[in-house]
Amino acid sequence: MWVSESELAVRLGIPSPTSDEITALQQAIQAAQSYLQDTTGFVEVGGSFEDRRSNLPISTYDLITKYRPVTSATAYSKVWRSSTESEVAVEVLDPANGLVRIDSASVWYPLMKELPQDPYLRRSVRLVYQVSSTSSPPSDLKEACIELAGHWYQLTKSGAFTSQAIGDIRWELDAEFERRVAHLLRRYSRVPT
């Protein structure tokens, strides 16, 4: 985890958390980290991920992957009613932001000759990409995780949450979150600078 329960307990002024408090702290941290990973694309454990896109143009185009930093990528193209996938050229333009360029024209043009001319012919791409681990996120994202986990922990303890997503933590953003953390999320927006 990006933050330990002892770090969060110190921040919240809990000198000796009970086992129930430790469990609640862990749930708050997991929920906050999961939210921040999904929002920013930084993942704790790297590996292979897959994005699927459909109805794409027959051209060269850029895509931003869900997770980052991207170390390598491969794309496979398929035309609807075809049973085979063809490998498509992929160039990783900006690994830190997960920006890749896919050149599908070289694959789709030959397929179009074999299939009836249909302006609504559906094309899809399956992008398989490798992401390196982010066991230690940028310090400001770690701070955002502490702020968000602390906020959600306090809401859980006060009984303000009524539904569940991860343990007792519900994914809820409010004005308090906006004030404390939103500026950090804008910094890590998925649009490269």
55-103 pLDDT per residue, tens: 766 677 888 888 888 999 988 877 666 677 778 778 999 998 889 988 7
pTM (global) more than 0.85: no
Collapsed DSSP state (helix, strand, coil) of residue 60: strand
- Res. 163 pLDDT band, cuts 50 70 90: very low
Average per-residue pLDDT for the chain: 78
Q: What is the mean pLDDT of residues 39-53?
A: 84
Token pair of 31 as six digits: 């929920």
Domain residue spans of the chain:
5-43+136-187, 47-131
Question: Which pLDDT value is given to residue 69?
Answer: 87
Question: Which pLDDT value is given to residue 160?
Answer: 67
Token pair of 101 as six digits: 């360029």
pLDDT at 52 exceeding the cut of 70:
yes
Distance CA 83, CA 94 (A): 32
DSSP track, 94-159:
EGGGTEEEEE-HHHHHHHHHHS---TT--EEEEEEEEE---SS--HHHHHHHHHHHHHHHHHHHHT
Q: What residues pair up with 86 in beta bridges, in sequence order? A: 77
Q: What is the mean pLDDT of residues 40-57?
A: 81
Q: Which helix (H) or strand (E) holds 175?
A: helix 175-187
Residue of 126, 96, 104, 101 lying closest to 191 (CA atoms): 96
Q: What is the mean pLDDT of residues 16-23?
A: 94
